[in-house]
Amino acid sequence: MKNRLRIFVLSIIAFFCISSCEKKEQLPNIVLIMADDMGYECLGCYGSTEYQTPNLDKLAAGGIRFEHCYSQPLCTPSRVKIMTGQYNFRNYEDFGYLNPNQKTFANLLKDAGYATCIAGKWQLNGLNRNNPGNQDVNRPYHFGFDEYCLWQLHHQRKDGERYADPLITQNGKVLPRNSELYGPQIFADYICDFIDRKADNPFFVYYPMVLVHDPFVPTPDSPEWIDSARRYENDTAYFSDMVAYTDKIIGQLETKLRQKGILENTLFIFTGDNGTGRAIFSSTVSGVLQGGKGLTINTGNRVPLIVSWPAKMKGKRISDAMISFADFLPTFCEIAGINPELYATDGKSLVPFISGKDEKNQSEIFIHYAPRWGSRNHNRWVMNQEYKLYRDGSFFNTTTDILEEKPLTTLSEAEQNLKEKFQNILNEKEKEFPFHLNDTTFVINP
């Protein structure tokens, strides 16, 4: 009788252990890659005729290409928004800074059992205005990352660049510098090593790339790299090489996931933090486009968004849904089974789009932009795929007036109704957080 009871108890324990393991195995890995200063027009699948992006184009051909993903027009506002899932008026305080009181998607995923890693560009310790804790090399751990390999953690850009001879901090230690080393490759190799070590359990990789931000310099695949003196040569002519190297890294990471046999159950996402730098003019099927980084026109914050998850989606899909950078955190939380009561977000999960169950949800988005950097103007607006209404009443058709030079004055009935709808949203946000509470005259210290 005792033996039977023992066998019964052990069977129950084994059942729950197996069930728990199966549940853990069903959680997908998540890889989020965010290029630096790469607008939508830089990818072949979005109409580029100038740059070589075969790996990204292949990724789009097997997944979802979102036509209307909008970041913030500048890097730190985008980084804070994507990591916390909230409008900038809630928690964006300063350029180059994320308040330690905030909870990020890495905190939530780590608590849900994910191994977490970040590699690439940090720029969130508050170095620019000497915020408290700006030399804290443990800050990435605080924000939920188990390990890191980062540029501009506790050193400013003037102390060392990100490309040749990079100044990189890895898990609390500054790596030896060498002009033969190339920062983007160091980050990619570190992520591949992380995947090797964590392939048996769910993991989250956040790769905020340093490519393709200026300086526009040769890559190891550029002929000029052979001459060590030319590795620091800043010329927009090298931008195409930098785009190509970005694409090469995408291929490297996808190959690693495939080799480990985990590509099928990996949510693989590629996007950009803001529009392309304004020094760059790109040839596309629609003509030549100038980068709009920092500007509120669509070339300032319309970015690529490619989502691949082979286990859940097959074949190419194109979505016209309006996507905001607030949407990533709730997406990851839903996928990981995290209780919505554990986090606050202004975004909506993309799972309905990924699953193909809902393509009509979220027809407009609200953006609040107060970068507190240089003399850039603060603003807020509501937009959909064709129209945009600013807080000052300026109303544009962004498909026919991409530079927003001709505010609409004579409106059709449909346009008038849409403008009123957008204005109601702006009024609601004004009640929630009055625009004048932003310090619109703020200029960062030189």
Residue that wins the pLDDT comparison between 82 and 24: 82
DSSP assignment letter at 159:
G
Q: Is residue 378 located within the same domain as residue 404?
A: yes
Shared domain for 357 and 395, answered yes or no, is: no
406 with 431, same domain: the answer is yes
- Number of structural domains (the chain) is 2
Query: Is 158 part of a structural domain of the chain?
Result: yes
Split at pLDDT 50, 70, 90, the class of 439 is low
Q: Tell whether 383 and 415 lie within a shared domain.
A: yes
- Quick check: is 20 in a domain? no
Task: Tell me the average pLDDT across 220-248.
Answer: 98
Question: What are the angstrom distances between the C-alpha of 133 and each of 27, 47, 84, 136, 215?
Answer: 35, 43, 20, 5, 28
Band (pLDDT 50/70/90 cuts) for residue 269 is very high
Do 309 and 349 belong together in one domain? Answer: yes
Do both 185 and 300 map to the same domain? yes
**Paired tokens of 310:** 């082979």
CATH number, domain containing residue 196 = 3.40.720.10
Residue 302 and residue 376 in one domain: no
Three-class SS state of 87? coil
CB 265 within 8 A of CB 298: no
Mind listing the pLDDT tens digit for each residue in 409-427? Answer: 999 999 999 999 999 999 9
Statement: residue 7 has pLDDT above 90: no
Give the residue numbers spanning the domain of 386. Answer: 372-437
Return the higher-pLDDT residue of 353 and 423: 423
The Cα 205–Cα 31 span in angstroms is: 5
**257 & 397 share domain:** no
Query: Given this model, what pLDDT does residue 19 score?
Result: 44
Q: For residue 165, tell me if it sits in a domain.
A: yes
Longest distance between any two alpha carbons in the chain, whole Å? 88
- Does residue 415 lie in a domain region? yes
Same domain, 88 and 182: yes
Give the predicted TM-score (pTM) of the model: 0.92
Which pLDDT does position 106 carry in this prediction? 99
Nearest in space to 321 (alpha carbons), one of 272, 358, 346, 347: 358
DSSP state of 173: E
pLDDT of 245 > 60? The answer is: yes
pLDDT (mean) for 273-301: 97
445 within some domain:
no
- 340 shares a domain with 220: yes
Give pLDDT tens digits for 185-207: 999 999 999 999 999 999 999 99
Tell me how far apart the alpha carbons of residues 299 and 321 are, in angstroms, rounded to a whole number. Answer: 18
- Region 101-107: what's the mean pLDDT? 98
Query: Looking at the structure, do residues 269 and 342 belong to the same domain, yes or no?
Result: yes
Domain end: 315, 336, 367, which one? 367
Domain contains 19: no
Q: What angle do the packed helices 54-61 and 239-259 form, to 10 degrees?
A: 50
Show which of 367, 395, 415 is a domain's final residue: 367
> How would residue 314 be classed by pLDDT, with cut points 50, 70 and 90?
confident
Residue 353 inside a domain? The answer is yes
3 CB-contact burial (10 Å; exposed 0-12 / middle 13-18 / buried 19+)? exposed
Q: Using CA atoms, how far apart are residues 396 and 418, in angstroms rounded to an integer?
A: 12
- Phi first, then psi, for residue 204 (nearest 5°) are -125, 125
Q: What is the pLDDT of residue 183?
A: 98
- DSSP state letters, 175-211: PPP-TT-BHHHHHHHHHHHHHHHHTTS-EEEEEE--T
Which has the minimum average pLDDT: 52-61, 338-347, 402-411, 437-446? 437-446
| Residue 150 resides in a domain | yes
Domain boundary among 339, 367, 395: 367
Same domain, 354 and 400: no
pLDDT recorded at residue 3: 52
